[in-house]
Amino acid sequence: MTKGRWAIATILLVLIADQIIKIWIKTTLPLGGEIPVLGNWFALHFVENNGMAFGLEFEGTTGKLILTLFRIIAVGAIGYYLYKQIKNNAGIGLIISLSLVVAGAFGNIIDSVFYGMIFTDSTYNQVAVMFHESGGYAPILFGKVVDMFHFRLLEGVYPSWMPFVGGEDFLFFRPVFNMADSAITSGVVLLILFQKKFFYSKKN
């Protein structure tokens, strides 16, 4: 299989899996709903956010619009870079890593751009409906990103002697994320870990 096909296959696999999970979660659970998977260690916990990976966000309508447009520009730039690397016959590791980043970024762009138009609003008492006759909950570019993976690997209480957080609950890992976030993180980690192999050997 050519490197271009490897890139396409990686992107499509991540996108399809990401969207299937998101659509199923949004049309099955109310906001805040949860399905235990591995006891208290891992659960599917439905939350939405207006912004970046792991629930980070910019405040306000303007911030949301800027973030969505930035995402579109960024994924276009990374996608073009991926295309150039394929043309330059870069290593398969670099191609797969870049493809994971492109797929993850594009997966969250789909939520931001289209979900507001095709779903009714999710509330703590109501499950969203897809393609309802009344329309969606937001105009194009203002949809919310669906997150669901919640790992509670370690829970406890900070010791009382610790400044600022003493006596407060401790939870690792607190952020809720999705498959697109995982793809981006995996791609970036691979690029960092193997940067010498991906870039230095290529330059030589």
- State yes or no: cis peptide before 177, omega within 30 of 0: no
181 is an active site residue:
yes
What's 111's DSSP letter? I
What's 120's DSSP letter? P
The catalytically annotated residue of 18, 111, 121, 181 is 181
List residues bridging with 161 in a β-sheet. Answer: none
Owner of token pair 């779903």 = 119
Alpha carbon of 26 to those of 29, 31, 54, 174: distances in Å? 6, 8, 17, 21
CA distance 20 to 176: 17
The catalytically annotated residue of 18, 111, 121, 147 is 147
Q: Which residues are catalytic?
A: 147, 181
